[in-house]
Amino acid sequence: MTPRAQRPAGPALSVEALSVRYPGRDAAVHAVDSVSLSVAPGGALVLLGESGSGKTTLARTVLGLPGRNARVTGHVHLGGTDLRALTEREFSRVRGLRIGYVPQDPTGSLDPLRRVGPQITEVLRRHRVAATRRAAREAVPGLLTSAGIPDPEHVARSFPHELSGGLRQRAAIALAVACEPELLIADEPTTALDALVRAQILDLFGSLRSRLGLAVLLVTHDLAVARRVGGQVAVMRAGRVVESGTTDQVLSRPSHSFTAELVAARTGVRR
């Protein structure tokens, strides 16, 4: 398959004044509060914050999947497309084709009841990236190999539970980027993995960024993950971005007291 599309000039993802509220019995939860951020084509933005700071809500709102009762205001653009103006039907074509997603749920985006290969074939066919069923099947080993999987034929025939955590996450990433999306959103993609595999998976994002011009929005509560990914970081607290900039700059010279506390807490913990 040839590269699908020329990457547009300007940001791959642009979020402006995005707010998400969940009405509660007593008071509304302001899960995301006036957040603005952008990710360049081929760039990486790490959303860093403690549990409950709104990272997943922000990520899922970009994907058009906030909670059912969410009240959303603000703007989200993917390249030149105003995502908030799309119908659900139009959005379902964007997910998978133009935005890949690796969810926080530890079982991931893979269907536990189906072998890995057919799941990838299905996404290529659904978005008409492969012209025929056979072309889709033939593309699978190459896609798995690009995700750093050494024995793609074996993995394609496997059920997700038959794979190690690292291989399963590589397969989930291969599925998410099968259609060569402009943006990959990965929510805590390495939390369940040991340090070596974690580093390998984070480096895989780097190679996908340079090979596909893929923009990556990576959600984590882990400073070590942010450092490894590099790029830009936006520090979230209670729904707001309290600090942002290049990861090196923000983590070595935090200007916000919350970031400084995060850095200090992290330094005090043995790895």
Ligand X SMILES: Nc1ncnc2c1ncn2[C@@H]1O[C@H](COP(=O)(O)OP(=O)(O)OP(=O)(O)O)[C@@H](O)[C@H]1O
CA distance 218 to 110: 19
3-state SS class at 214: coil
User: Which tokens in the block code for residue 44?
Assistant: 């990486």
Report the residue from 51, 87, 132, 267 that binds ligand X according to the rule CB under 6 A: 51
Among the residue ranges 68-76, 100-108, 197-205, 244-252, the one whose residues contact Mg ion (CB under 5 A):
100-108
CA distance 113 to 167: 17
User: Which tokens in the block code for residue 162?
Assistant: 């038959």
Told to check if 221 binds ligand X by CB under 6 A, we report yes
Told to check if 31 binds ligand X by CB under 6 A, we report yes
Residue in 244, 246, 241 with CA at minimum distance from that of residue 231:
246
Told to check if 57 binds ligand X by CB under 6 A, we report yes
SS (H, E, C) 230-248: CCEEEEEECCEEEEEEEHH
List the interface residues with ligand X, window 59-118 (CB under 6 A): 67, 104
Q: Which lies closer to ligand X via its Cβ, residue 13 or residue 58?
A: 58
Evaluate whether 96 touches 126 at the Cβ level (below 8 Å).
yes
Q: How far is the CB of 236 from ligand X (least distance, A)?
A: 7
Q: Which lies closer to Mg ion via its Cβ, residue 104 or residue 200?
A: 104
Report the residue from 1, 7, 14, 22 that binds ligand X according to the rule CB under 6 A: 22
Residue in 69, 45, 44, 65 with CA at minimum distance from that of residue 56:
65
Which of Mg ion, ligand X, none is residue 72 near (CB under 5 to 8 Å by kind)? none
Give the interface with ligand X as residue ranges (CB under 6 A): 22, 29, 31, 49, 51-57, 67, 104, 221
Give the interface with Mg ion as residue ranges (CB under 5 A): 56, 104
